[in-house]
Structure 1
Amino acid sequence: MKRYIIILILSLLFIKSWGQQDAMYTQYMFNTLAINPAYAGSRNLVSATALYRNQWTGIEGAPRTGTFSIDAPVLNKRFGVGLQVFSDKLGITQTTGGSASAAYRIRMEKGSLSFGLQGSVSHYSARLSSVLLNSTTGYDPAFMNDASKTLFNFGTGIYYNSDKFYLGLAAQDLLNNSLNNASGGDNLQARQVPHLFLTAGYVFPLATDFRLKPSFLIKGVKGAPLEADVNATLWIKDVLAIGAGYRTSADVTALLEVQVSPQIRIGYSYDRSTTELQNFNSGSHEIMLRYEFGFEKNKILSPRFF
């Protein structure tokens, strides 16, 4: 019963849009294209990333998110392009779709500055009528009709990066799309709301074989408290990285990265809730696989940290 109550509350929060709507990732540094279109092409080669997140293991209906993205520089690296597909399921709701990104890149002395635009199309569905209501009448107008919508939206961003530093600011979901067909006024009307993302990271050389890479992500969503992800990883011989992180009023995180080869990187994260949710779940798991194309034969490249 406690699990059902938790999921019902989460569903209500999602339906009324009083909270973050876009999928959440602990390894956001590997999925930057999802939040900032100006990231496209910033790695100066074709880069493909797959990521899967299993959140709040043990809670029925908890979020399950999968995404695949690919981006590349084009036209003498003056532009970047990127594509992403995603699926995000939470309780009675599911969102699947894709996005296309384009960025204009300005080369600078030590890095590049990019301006990006992103267009997305997604299908949102909510099986509201399947919820068993615990009331004497069994009637609630908010759960009378299922929702099924095809949504078009767009976002924009700016991104600067060099070999050791990156800084990005982006806004997503700028159109206030309706998510249902409710006719009971604003109290029953669910809508997409804008999301703002501020990201930054830096690589500090500590010794010959060690580098420290701190980074943060700050998320702002209308109707929800400001949220921050802060983490740091220690790279050992540019092959293995171990780290930890903290998400405000939500989780503590353990991070692991392995540079299997110059082209392949694997990442894993584990989140442990710091709220009362820790009594009902055994943590969140996230795994990432990145593959990079286009290495020139017999040319050794230093690892790209961002």
Structure 2
Amino acid sequence: MKKTQILILLLLLTFSTKAQELTIPQLSQYIADNPFLMSPTYAGVGDHIKIRLNGLTQWVGIENAPDTQTLAADARIGNRSGLGMLMYNDSNGNTRQRGARVSFAHHLTLDRYDDEFLSLGISYNFNQFRIDVENFRDENGQIPTDDKSTVNHNFDIGVLYRLDKFYLSVNASNILPKDLETFNPTFEPNTLRNYYAYTGYSFSKNKNSKIEVEPSIFFQWFESDGRSVTDLNTKVRFHDYEDYYYLGLTYRFLNDQIGTPLYVAPIAGLKKNNFYFGYSYQVITNELLGYSSGTHVITVGMDLFQGISNCRCTY
């Protein structure tokens, strides 16, 4: 085998094993008042139709760095159920993935006087993963004719518990193994299951206070290799009647390297009338710092048709 063929083989192997894992990157997008992006249990939480458009540009300054766009929408169906849909487009070097997620959640009222609720959610996931073979050439300068692409179907499940301003969400994602027939099953990880929990609490000095503080924690564990990450978040909201503005900070780290964060991300945003805007800049603190200035995360959205449900579990 000639050097060119060996190089192409190594590149294909590298992209198939080290690139996307048939899921969208889960960074700080969920903090931008967009928890449905993370868990199906949030579908229909709110008395309106929520639409969020998110753009994630990682490792600014590095060529062909990961870039992701998502469009999410969810709404209440009746008084106790919700539907949601997420569409995404993700690129990473010479790999591409596109997909969609359709979610259903059912919300139960455990105690209407203490605002105690339990939500159950499930998602069906569709993903198309592809390697851009047209960017490669063989020893004759020809584009490879075999199409390196695969389609996978999967499911997420979750439970959300809320008591007043406390919340705890526990989820399992990509619970089925993925299709390896197109790639090399010897080197390609088969298990994509990961488990994650998201919990937090909002508190203020009193009911009339215009300042609200919300600390939260996100923990995620990957079954395939046992790695896990944690986000420590703090958000401060400044209320102006029905509008609000917020500032916050996220600290992400591998759980075996607590003192060495993957990034530190200041966040800011606002809700004005029915319009929403959020921004986060993730400052890289590892060895990529010498090559990249960081990661930009932008979220814009609208809340439509407020008051479509009068159940307290929508709040």
TM-score range normalised by the length of the shorter chain: 0.7 to 0.9
Distance 1:34 1:211, change over 3 A: closer
Cα separation, 2, equivalents of 1:104 and 1:173 = 20
1:186 and 2:204 are equivalent in the alignment:
no
% identity of equivalent residues: 25
Question: Whole-Å Cα distance in 2 between the matches of residues 277 and 51 of structure 1?
Answer: 24
- Deviation, structure 1 residue 250: 0.7
Conserved 8 A contact 2:151-2:179: no
Which amino acid in the other structure matches residue 34 of structure 1?
Answer: L
Local SS of the residue matching 1:204 = coil
Distance 2:20 2:89 in 1: 19
Superposition pairs of residues 1-306 of structure 1, within 5 angstroms: 15-16=16-17, 22=23, 23-29=25-31, 30-75=33-78, 77-109=79-111, 110-127=115-132, 130=135, 146-179=147-180, 181-182=182-183, 185-187=185-187, 189-191=188-190, 193-206=192-205, 208-221=209-222, 222-223=224-225, 225-238=227-240, 239-248=244-253, 249-261=261-273, 263-296=274-307
Shift of 1:79: 1.1
Q: Return 5+ residue gaps in structure 2 as ranges.
A: 1-9, 254-260, 309-313
Q: Letter of the 2:275 partner, please give it.
A: I
Q: Which deviates more, 174-183 or 281-290? A: 174-183
* Alpha-carbon distance change, 104 to 59 in structure 1, aligned in 2, over 3 angstroms: same
User: Which amino acid in 2 is paired with 1:165?
Assistant: F
- More deviation, 39-48/117-126: 39-48
After the TM superposition, which of the residue ranges 234-243 and 123-132 deviates more from structure 2? Answer: 123-132
Distance change (3 Å), C-alpha of 1:283 and 1:236? same
RMSD of Structure 2 on Structure 1 (CA): 3.0
Normalising by structure 2, report the TM-score.
0.79
- 1:127 positional shift: 2.6
TM-score by length of 1: 0.81
The number of aligned residues is 280
Q: Decide whether the 8 Å contact of 2:96 with 2:132 is kept in 1.
A: no
Please state how far the C-alpha of 1:12 moved relative to its aligned partner.
Answer: 6.1
Change (3 A) 1:72 1:296: closer
3-state SS of 2:230 partner = strand
Q: Secondary structure at 2:41's aligned position in 1? A: helix
2: CA distance between counterparts of 1:132 and 1:108? 62
